[in-house]
Amino acid sequence: MPATSRHALVTGGNRGIGLGVAARLLADGYDVTVTSRSGTLGDDAPAGLRVVACDVTDPASVDAAFTEAEAAAGPVHVLVANAGITSDGLLMRMGEEEFGSVVDTNLAGAWRVLKRASTGMIRARYGRVVLVGSVVGLYGGPGQANYAASKAGLVGLARSVTRELGGRGITVNVVAPGFIGTDMTASLDEARQATYLQAIPAGRFGAVDDVAAAVSFLVSEQAGYVSGAVVPVDGGLGMGH
Ligand code: NDP
């Protein structure tokens, strides 16, 4: 089936990495639905993107978003679970709310959308899933115990579902971006940004297009024998972590 007849859904596709991925998949020929919490898109979104409202921490909202997207464009063949947040703080100062909200959004949120998407993929005997992790998931980051734990959890999620559904034409992979210039990284202090830059062999921060290119390959028909992988897009920062 050509990409033109495939339906791709990107959570948090209204800005940052998600928007870059959605724009790339649109250019690749997919019928693309993105989610945002408001159910709207900014002026920078390319024409042709469909948007539905979704809060990945709310199972009813996830179900409603998929139902609306499926009514408009049929079953979801390609899922990019990208929605994510940070709430940094050192271990001793991190509260239940900071830990719980990050894990609930980044890890449980990805599990909710993957579970909902899997029904249609199993029926179609075809699916491409990319979970957006982070180099920090396996590298660790001071002040990011909640975030790193949530992103490390995505690896176990992807690998377990690969074992469950790998025989049904469904692949589940993790892309692990390094330091990509978006709203999320703009909130990091200058000292942290300088430390990361020094450690990146590529000598630069990444762009959303760097991540989008990796996702584009992983969701392609040709990538059918790549599953349970963690694909770094970090300029060499994590070096195989
Ligand atoms: P942004 O902060 O720019 O965008 C975050 C996106 O997630 C927004 O679309 C936001 O929607 C959505 N989102 C947040 N919470 C929820 C929720 N509860 N339900 C649904 N959507 C939600 O982040 P980035 O583009 O930088 O990051 C995207 C992903 O990439 C994240 O998973 C992040 O952890 C990961 N990543 C980013 C890196 C970077 O350097 N930027 C590095 C490594 C990983 P809304 O607009 O409605 O708030």
Q: Is 117 inside any structural domain?
A: yes
| Residue-wise burial string across 64-79, b where 16 or more C-beta atoms lie within 10 A, e elsewhere | ebbebbbeebebbbbb
Q: How far apart are CA 201 and CA 18, in angstroms?
A: 25
- From the alpha carbon of 16, which atom of ligand 1 is closest? 25
Whether the pLDDT of residue 1 is over 70: the answer is no
Q: How many domains does the chain have?
A: 1
CA distances from 159 to 3, 127, 141, 218 (A): 25, 15, 23, 15
Greatest Cα pair distance in the chain: 52
Q: Is 136 inside any structural domain?
A: yes
DSSP designation for 206: B
For 112, the domain range is: 3-230
User: What is the number of other CB atoms lying within 10 angstroms of the CB of residue 130?
Assistant: 28
Which structure tokens are listed for 74? Answer: 């049929």
Q: Is 179 in the pocket of ligand 1 (CB under 6 A)?
A: yes
Q: Is 41 inside any structural domain?
A: yes
Q: Is 55 in the pocket of ligand 1 (CB under 6 A)?
A: yes
Q: Which residues are catalytic?
A: 147
Most confident of 2-6, 166-170, 180-184: 166-170
Q: Is 30 inside any structural domain?
A: yes
**How large is the ipTM?**
0.99
User: What is the number of other CB atoms lying within 10 angstroms of the CB of residue 192?
Assistant: 17
Q: Is 237 inside any structural domain?
A: no
Q: Which of 224, 208, 211 is nearest to 175 (CA)?
A: 211
Q: How far apart are CA 5 and CA 18, in angstroms?
A: 21
User: How far away, in angstroms, is 12 Cα from ligand 1 center?
Assistant: 6
| Ligand 1, pocket-test mutation among 24, 33, 34, 37, most atoms within 8 A of CB | 37
Q: Is 236 inside any structural domain?
A: no
Write the pLDDT tens digit of every residue in 203-231: 999 999 999 999 999 999 999 999 999 99
Annotate 64-76 with DSSP letters as a single string: HHHHHHHHHH-S-
Q: Is 206 in the pocket of ligand 1 (CB under 6 A)?
A: no
Protein residue whose Cα sits closest to atom 13 of ligand 1: 83
Write the pLDDT tens digit of every residue in 58-70: 999 999 999 999 9
Whether the pLDDT of residue 139 is over 90: the answer is yes
Q: Is 167 inside any structural domain?
A: yes
Q: Is 241 inside any structural domain?
A: no
User: How far away, in angstroms, is 1 Cα from ligand 1 center?
Assistant: 30
Strand 170-177, strand 230-233: pairing: parallel
Query: Contact 24/219 with Cβ under 8 angstroms?
Result: no
Q: How far apart are CA 167 and CA 150, in angstroms?
A: 27
Q: What is the pTM of this model?
A: 0.97
Identify the CATH number of the domain in which residue 125 sits.
3.40.50.720
Q: How far apart are CA 104 and CA 112, in angstroms?
A: 10
Q: Is 134 in the pocket of ligand 1 (CB under 6 A)?
A: yes
